A = this chain, B = another copy of it.
Amino acid sequence: MSLLVVGSVAFDALESPYGKVDRALGGAATYFAVAASFFTHVNLVGIVGDDFTEQDAHVFRGRKIDLEGLERATGKTFFWAGRYSENLNERVTLTTELNVFAEFKPRLPEKYRGAEHVFLANIAPELQRSVLQQVRKRPKLAAMDTMNYWISGSNAELRETLRHVDILMINDSETRELSSEHNLLRAAKHIFKMGPSTLVVKRGEHGAMLVDKSGVFCVPAFPLEEPHDPTGAGDCFAGGFMGYLASAGKHTDAALRRAMVYGSVLGSFAVERFGLDRLRTLKRAEINARARHFLKLTTFKL
């Protein structure tokens, strides 16, 4: 089943101890769509400027990614520049230029409006909600990301959007800020009252945790000796997670657990190289092999 994503498409300038790029295609919707396309057909809603070339679109071509919803506007594409610390565990934003993204009003092509699986990447909560309003029926599964900027600056709007989604997928500091609760289990209970029935907490090098009414499921991060660039890892996690669920067409406990693993698999590949580089060459067989490696990493018998 196809999967709708709305979010940023951007150019990134990245610096880490492993290298430097001045203009790499990035943005949450980009990472998400490429990761999810290994599992299912993806319809992408976003906006780019007239500096976005066919060469830039190349990463989407030859994949199951529909770009009818990618609006081309006059002006420059969203631009972000960041630098990572030596251990990749801290980053500073050097530049954020919203450019055409500042005026972004998501518009769903007619053929996207039957979406059964929807992912609202990190954008203004009122824009996230406008996407859900354009979908004809309540989706089988709607998930969203957000960030501290919206939690503190647009809390009422965010709360309104949260009422309409099934899964909230954020990191641990966002979980704590949104719920005003340090303990993640207690935080989940607060968040369930806001709307979502499932909370996925992304914990970077510590893996990810899913909490829902049936309990808790934890998956570690894949241990890598030389991660190069964490940019997009969370969006690739979301893409693997939602891509798998859309392809499975069911959201049983077993399917959600597998989705957590495929999310972790895609996130782990994303950080192996700069920007989208590793995903460009990634094969489905490698995804399956790494998922089996997660079994080895976590399996025990009593």
Contact = CB atoms under 8 A, between A and B. Distances in A.
A182 B90 CA distance: 13
Interface in A205-249: 206-207, 209, 211, 215-220, 223-227
A60 to B, nearest CB: 28
Most buried by B among A89, A203, A295, A297: A297
B297 A218 contact: yes
B185 A207 contact: no
B296 A215 contact: yes
Contacts of A226: 183
A257 interface: yes
Interface in A70-103: 86-87, 89
A302 B258 contact: yes
Size band of the A side of the interface? Answer: 35 or more
A207 B223 contact: no
A302 B292 contact: yes
Contacts of A254: 300-301
Contacts of A291: 302
Given A206-B206, A218-B207, A220-B220, A258 B301 contact: yes
Interface in A190-213: 203, 206-207, 209, 211
A143 interface: no
Interface string A151-186: 000000000000000000000000000000011111
